A and B are shown apart, each in its own frame.
Chain A
Amino acid sequence: MKTITFDQIKTSSIALEFDEVIPDNIYTWTEQDFAKYEVPIGNSRFPITDYFDITVEGEAEGPGDVKMVLNGDLNRVKYIGCAMTNGEIICNGNVDLHVGAEMSGGHIKVYGNAAAHAGREMSGGILEITGNTKEFTGASYIGEWRGMTGGEIIVYGNAGKQCGECLTGGKIRVKGDCDILAGIHMTKGLIEIDGNVNRWPGGQMKNGNIVIHGKLGRLLEGFVFEGVVVDPTVEGEDFKGKFIKYTGDIGLNGKGSLYLGAETNREKLSEYGEIDDEYTSIREYRNL
C-alpha cells in the first residue's frame, strides 16, 4: 500500500484542478515526481508543491494500492478523484466542485461538506460525504440527460437541489434532508432519503425508485397514488414499515416509483379516504 499525504500549506482564490492527481495516474509517483508536477489553476499551471507538502510512503503496483490523504481547506480544490477507477481518497476538509465525478471505481471519503456536482456521472465505486452536499449530487453534467449510472453515494448530512438529477443507475443515500427536485428526470436507480424533502421529488422521472422516510412538503401533480405498501422490496433492498406508493411522472408517461414513509406523511393519505391505524380504508379506496 502506498500512502500519499497532501498537507495544505497555501490556499488559492482560483480552484486547483485535481483531475490529474488521481490514483490511476500517480501510483508510481515519488516525491520528486510531485515536485516537478504543475497543477492546473484557471488557464495556467503552478507547482503543486506551492500548495501542498506531499509525502509518499510505501509502494504500489497499481491504483488499487494507493491511498491519498488530503488535509486542509479544500474549498478551492475541485475534481478530486475525478474519473478514478480504483484506490482510496480521504479528504479531511470541505471540498470544491465535482468530487468523485465520473469515477468508476475506488472509494472517496470526505470528512466535511462537498460543493455541487459531487459524484457527477459516476459509474462505480463509493463516495461518502460526512457533511452536506450542494446541488446536483450524483447528477448529470449540465445539459446531459444521463447522470450517475452506477456506484453509491452516501451523504450523511443534507443534500442540495436536484440530487440525483437524470439518475440512470446506482444508489444515492441521503441521511439528512434533501432540497427540491430530487431525482428529476431520473430513469433508473435508487434515491433513499432518511430526512425530510422540501418539494417535488421525482419531477419528470421516467423510471427508477425514490424512497423518502421523512416528511415530504409538496408532491407534484404527475404522481398517481397506488396505495399503501408494507415492507416493500425496492431495487433488491428490503425497507421496513408502511409506505405510501406513487407512480409517476405521468406527464412523461413515467413508470417511476415514489415511496413515502406512511407514518410521517399520514396527512397525505387523508385526501384518499378516512384513515384508521391499519390504513384499511385506504386499501378499500384502492379496491374501488
Chain B
Amino acid sequence: MEYILKNGIVYDPANGINGEKMDIMIKDDIIVDSVSSNAQVIDVTDKVVMPSGVDPHAHVAGPKLVVGRLYRPEDSRRGVTQKTNVLRSESGFSIPSCPATGYRYSRLGYGTVVEAAMPPLEAKHTHEEIATIPNIDVPALSLFGNNWFVMEYAKEKNVDDLAAFISTWLKLSKGYGVKIVNPCGSEAWGWGMNVHGVNDKAPYFDVTSKEVIQALAKANEKLGLPHSIHIHPNDLGHPGNTPTTLETFDAVKNIKKSAKASVRDQVMHICHLQFHAYGGNSWKDADSGAKEITDYINKNDHVTCDIGQVTLDETTTMTADAPMEYDLFKLSGLKWANKDIECETAAGIIPCIYAPKAPVSSLQWAIGLELFLRIEDLWKVCLTTDHPNAGPFIRYPRIMSWLMSSDRRQEMMDNEVHKWAHKRTGLPELDRCYDFYDIATISRAAPAKIHGFADRGALTPGYKADIAVYDINPNDIDPNRESAAIEEGFNVALYTIKDGQILVKDKEIVKVKESQNIWVNVKGYENEEQAVVDKIMPFFNQYYSVKWENYPVHDHYVSNPIRIDIER
C-alpha cells in the first residue's frame, strides 16, 4: 500500500525539518522518497506532522502492573469504555488494562514505548503482557542493578564476565538494555535497609552502588549495546538527593562510549530526573536542585535524561525501588504492596495523590518543568511521566501545553498550585516556551536517538512509517496564549500510522495491530556466555526457586519480535 501525506507542516528534528510544508510518502511499512501514481493521497493540509512518539521510559507491562491492577480496582473503574467493532473494552486511569494502554498511546500518536523495568525472573509474564498491548512496539529493559551475580562481578571488577552475563541474560529475558534501579538499595531492602548515596555498600556484598554502576556501564559499552545504561539512581524522592544524582553522573564520566553504539551519544541515561533533583535536608526545607543538575547536563555530553513530570493527578506509583515505596507508605499511610524478586530485585506499589494544593506535589511539579526549561540541548532530555509514577501517560499533551506556554505556567503558579512552586524553585524566572520543533525533539527524536533506534523517531526514507498527524495548524495558533487548544490538539491524533498502517483516522482508532517486542541479541560471546553459565550454575541451583530450564523466555512467549543483532 502506498500513501502520500500531502501538505502537512512537518516537524522532524532528526532531519532538521522545522515546520516545512511538505509531503511524506509511504510504501508498505516504510517511508520512501517517492511513490507511484496509484498512491492514496491523504490531505493533511496545514496539520502538524511528526514522527510517531517514542516513550523512553514507562511501566506498561509486567508483574507490578498486575499487582497494581489487582489491588487498585478503584483505579480500574475509571476510564471504562464499552467494546466496539474494532476495540476491546477499556478500563483504568493510571494503570490501564493492556488493550487500553495500546489504544491510548495510539490516540496520542505514539508508536514505541519502552517498558522500563523487567525483572528477568518475571520476563515471561512481561512478554505475555506485551503481547496483549496492541498498536505499539515495546522493548523492555532488564533489571541488573541489584542482581546478586552482577554485584559479585562488580565487587571483583570483572567486567569481561559481567559483559558475558549481560549478554546471556538479555537473551534469556529477551531484553533490550540494562536497567539499574537504586543499585544495592533494593537488595538492602531484603534486610529492611536501604543505601544512601553512591558510596554505601549493599549488606553482605561488600560492593558500593558506584562500583555497580561503573561495572555495568563498562560492560554495556564493551558489548556496544544500542542503549546506554538506564539508571534510576539512589535516594529517589529524598530531599537533598541532588549530590547523589551528581555523583551518579560523575561515576561514568570517564567511561568511553562504544563505537558500535553509533546512534546515541551518552553512556548513561538517567530516568525520571525530577525525582532526583531535590535540595534541602527534609521536606520542611526542601527546594529545587534543578539548576545544579542542569548546569552539569549542559556542560557534559555523557548524560541524557527523561523527566518524570508530575501531572498533579491521583496515580499509582510502582518501582523496583522498594525501600522508597516503603518511605512513601510511611508518609501517606495509603495501602502498600511489596514484592521480592529472588536474587534479582524487589518492587513496591502504592497509590499517590499529587494534589495541586499540596506543597510537595507542587514543588515536584515545578522542579520537573524547571528541568525541562533549563536544559539547553533538547537532544539530552525526553518527555516522560515515568508512567504511572508521576502521572499517567495520557497527560503528555498537557505537559506539552505547559512547556509551550509561560503564561499558563504563571497562571498555575498564581492560582492553582501551592506557593512552594514559585518560592522554592527557579520556575518563575523561566519564560522559555517550547515550540513544535522542541516538542517533536523531546517526544520523538531524542528518545529514539538515546535508545539507539535506527529505524524510528524520524521521517527519514527507509525508516519505519510511524507517523502522527495532529489537528493543529501551527500558523494559526499562539501556543503561549492557547495552551488549552494545544492540549486538545495533541490529545488525539488526527492520524496515527504505524508500520505504514493507518491505525487512527479522523481521531478514531480504525485498526488494531499486534504489538512487537524489540530485543537485543549480542553475537560473538557464545564461549564466554557458556563459561559464565557453567560457573554460576551451582549458585543458581542453590538460590533460585525455579529450575534453569524454566528460567529463559522461550521463543513462543515472544510472538512477533524485532531482534536487533549486535556483532562483537
Interface residue A141 (Cβ < 8 Å from any Cβ of B): yes
Interface residue A14 (Cβ < 8 Å from any Cβ of B): no
Interface residue A145 (Cβ < 8 Å from any Cβ of B): yes
Please name all residues of chain B whose beta carbon is closer than 8 Å to the beta carbon of A142 when the two chains form the complex: 73-74
Please name all residues of chain A whose beta carbon is closer than 8 Å to the beta carbon of B72 when the two chains form the complex: 143
A43 to B83, CA, bound (A): 9
Please name all residues of chain B whose beta carbon is closer than 8 Å to the beta carbon of A162 when the two chains form the complex: none
CB of A141 within 8 A of CB of B73, answer yes
Which chain A residues numbered 91 to 129 have a C-beta less than 8 Å away from chain B? none
Chain A interface size, under 10 / 10 to 19 / 20 to 34 / 35 or more: under 10
CB distance from B119 to the nearest CB of A (A): 24
Checking A43, A141, A145 against B77 with a beta-carbon cut-off of 8 angstroms, the contacting residue is A141
A144 to B83, CA, bound (A): 25
Interface residue A209 (Cβ < 8 Å from any Cβ of B): no
Interface residue B334 (Cβ < 8 Å from any Cβ of A): yes
Interface residue B432 (Cβ < 8 Å from any Cβ of A): no
Please name all residues of chain A whose beta carbon is closer than 8 Å to the beta carbon of B82 when the two chains form the complex: 43
Interface residue B71 (Cβ < 8 Å from any Cβ of A): yes
Which chain A residues numbered 141 to 200 have a C-beta less than 8 Å away from chain B? 141-145
Please name all residues of chain A whose beta carbon is closer than 8 Å to the beta carbon of B75 when the two chains form the complex: 143
Interface residue A140 (Cβ < 8 Å from any Cβ of B): yes
Checking B74, B83, B334, B335 against A141 with a beta-carbon cut-off of 8 angstroms, the contacting residue is B74
CB of A145 within 8 A of CB of B334, answer yes
Please name all residues of chain B whose beta carbon is closer than 8 Å to the beta carbon of A140 when the two chains form the complex: 74
A142 to B335, CA, bound (A): 13
Which chain A residues numbered 16 to 46 have a C-beta less than 8 Å away from chain B? 43
CB of A143 within 8 A of CB of B334, answer no
A141 to B80, CA, bound (A): 15
A43 to B71, CA, bound (A): 24
A145 to B74, CA, bound (A): 9
Please name all residues of chain A whose beta carbon is closer than 8 Å to the beta carbon of B71 when the two chains form the complex: 143
- 0 or 1 for each of B62-76: is its CB under 8 Å from A? (1 = yes): 000000000111110
CB of A143 within 8 A of CB of B73, answer yes
Please name all residues of chain A whose beta carbon is closer than 8 Å to the beta carbon of B335 when the two chains form the complex: 143, 145
Q: Is the interface of B mostly helix, strand, loop or mixed?
A: loop
Q: Which residue of A lies closest to B89 (CB)?
A: A43
A109 to B152, CA, bound (A): 68
Q: Which residue of A lies closest to B72 (CB)?
A: A143
Q: Which residue of B lies closest to A43 (CB)?
A: B83
A43 to B335, CA, bound (A): 32
- 0 or 1 for each of B483-514: is its CB under 8 Å from A? (1 = yes): 00000000000000000000000000000000
- 0 or 1 for each of A193-223: is its CB under 8 Å from B? (1 = yes): 0000000000000000000000000000000
- Count CB-based A-B contacts (< 8 Å): 18
A111 to B72, CA, bound (A): 34
CB distance from A204 to the nearest CB of B (A): 11
Q: Which residue of A lies closest to B73 (CB)?
A: A143
Q: Which residue of A lies closest to B77 (CB)?
A: A141
CB distance from B499 to the nearest CB of A (A): 31
Please name all residues of chain A whose beta carbon is closer than 8 Å to the beta carbon of B73 when the two chains form the complex: 141-144
Please name all residues of chain B whose beta carbon is closer than 8 Å to the beta carbon of A43 when the two chains form the complex: 82-83
CB distance from A38 to the nearest CB of B (A): 12
CB of B74 within 8 A of CB of A143, answer yes
CB distance from A40 to the nearest CB of B (A): 9
Please name all residues of chain B whose beta carbon is closer than 8 Å to the beta carbon of A145 when the two chains form the complex: 334-335
A145 to B73, CA, bound (A): 11
A59 to B549, CA, bound (A): 73
CB distance from B317 to the nearest CB of A (A): 15
Please name all residues of chain A whose beta carbon is closer than 8 Å to the beta carbon of B74 when the two chains form the complex: 140-144
A109 to B74, CA, bound (A): 27
CB distance from B83 to the nearest CB of A (A): 7
Q: Which residue of B lies closest to A252 (CB)?
A: B333
A145 to B75, CA, bound (A): 11
Q: Which residue of B lies closest to A141 (CB)?
A: B74
Please name all residues of chain A whose beta carbon is closer than 8 Å to the beta carbon of B77 when the two chains form the complex: 141
Q: Which residue of A lies closest to B74 (CB)?
A: A144
Between B71, B74, B82, the greatest number of chain A beta carbons within 10 A of the residue's beta carbon is seen for B74
Which chain B residues numbered 202 to 223 have a C-beta less than 8 Å away from chain A? none
A250 to B154, CA, bound (A): 47
A140 to B74, CA, bound (A): 9
CB distance from B518 to the nearest CB of A (A): 34
A140 to B334, CA, bound (A): 14
CB distance from B96 to the nearest CB of A (A): 16
A146 to B450, CA, bound (A): 42
A141 to B73, CA, bound (A): 8
Which chain B residues numbered 40 to 90 have a C-beta less than 8 Å away from chain A? 71-75, 77, 82-83
Which chain B residues numbered 414 to 468 have a C-beta less than 8 Å away from chain A? none
CB distance from A187 to the nearest CB of B (A): 11
CB distance from A167 to the nearest CB of B (A): 16
- 0 or 1 for each of A56-91: is its CB under 8 Å from B? (1 = yes): 000000000000000000000000000000000000
A144 to B353, CA, bound (A): 13
Please name all residues of chain B whose beta carbon is closer than 8 Å to the beta carbon of A144 when the two chains form the complex: 73-74
Q: Which residue of A lies closest to B335 (CB)?
A: A145
CB distance from B80 to the nearest CB of A (A): 12
A145 to B480, CA, bound (A): 39
Q: Which residue of B lies closest to A146 (CB)?
A: B74
A141 to B77, CA, bound (A): 9
CB distance from A120 to the nearest CB of B (A): 11
CB distance from A114 to the nearest CB of B (A): 20
CB distance from B494 to the nearest CB of A (A): 31
A141 to B78, CA, bound (A): 12
A145 to B82, CA, bound (A): 26
CB distance from A60 to the nearest CB of B (A): 29
A287 to B80, CA, bound (A): 57
CB distance from A19 to the nearest CB of B (A): 12
A26 to B66, CA, bound (A): 39
A284 to B493, CA, bound (A): 74
Q: Which residue of B lies closest to A144 (CB)?
A: B74
Between A141, A142, A143, A145, the greatest number of chain B beta carbons within 10 A of the residue's beta carbon is seen for A143
Which chain B residues numbered 328 to 346 have a C-beta less than 8 Å away from chain A? 334-335
A43 to B89, CA, bound (A): 10
A252 to B501, CA, bound (A): 55
CB distance from A122 to the nearest CB of B (A): 16
A99 to B82, CA, bound (A): 22
CB distance from B90 to the nearest CB of A (A): 14
A145 to B352, CA, bound (A): 12
A140 to B335, CA, bound (A): 14
CB distance from B92 to the nearest CB of A (A): 12
CB distance from A196 to the nearest CB of B (A): 31
A143 to B350, CA, bound (A): 12
A117 to B525, CA, bound (A): 60
The 8 closest A-B pairs by CB, nearest first: A144-B74, A143-B73, A143-B74, A142-B73, A141-B74, A143-B72, A143-B71, A141-B77
Cross-chain pairs A/B with CB under 8 angstroms, 18 sampled: A43-B82, A43-B83, A140-B74, A141-B73, A141-B74, A141-B77, A142-B73, A142-B74, A143-B71, A143-B72, A143-B73, A143-B74, A143-B75, A143-B335, A144-B73, A144-B74, A145-B334, A145-B335
**Additional 12 contacts, C-beta under 8 A, given A140-B74, A142-B73, A143-B75:** A43-B82, A43-B83, A141-B77, A142-B74, A143-B71, A143-B72, A143-B73, A143-B74, A143-B335, A144-B73, A144-B74, A145-B335
Interface residues in chain B, defined as those with a beta carbon under 8 Å from any beta carbon in chain A: 71-75, 77, 82-83, 334-335
